[in-house]
Structure 1
């Protein structure tokens, strides 16, 4: 059984799904991790945890070739 899109009446087999954020495959995990840390940071109140998150975010930003606008 194939999953069929009710609007297009097609599926994504051999086509794929277009990502929300287009980045090189080699950076995908780091970008996803950075996005997750930014979300977690919104709900953290402990100053030590915030510092750890900020340190990791800076490390990731320095290692990624794509910079945020």
Structure 2
């Protein structure tokens, strides 16, 4: 299984500029890498053609 972590910023004109890209064998490793680049304006993990949006640790989408 390959989990690709991508992160970057937007150039003038709102073009996507990838500043970080790496591939990991496990989701745990991909999440660890994502945490290190989560300060970029955008960052996500791709897996089998799907984009995974990773919420910051401690956030709960159900507000429990």
Task: Return the TM-score normalized by structure 1.
Answer: 0.29
**Structure with greater helix percent:** 1
Which structure has the larger Rg? 1
Task: Return the TM-score normalized by structure 2.
Answer: 0.30
Question: Taking CA–CA contacts closer than 8 Å with sequence separation of 6 or more, which of the two structures ends up with the larger relative contact order?
Answer: 2
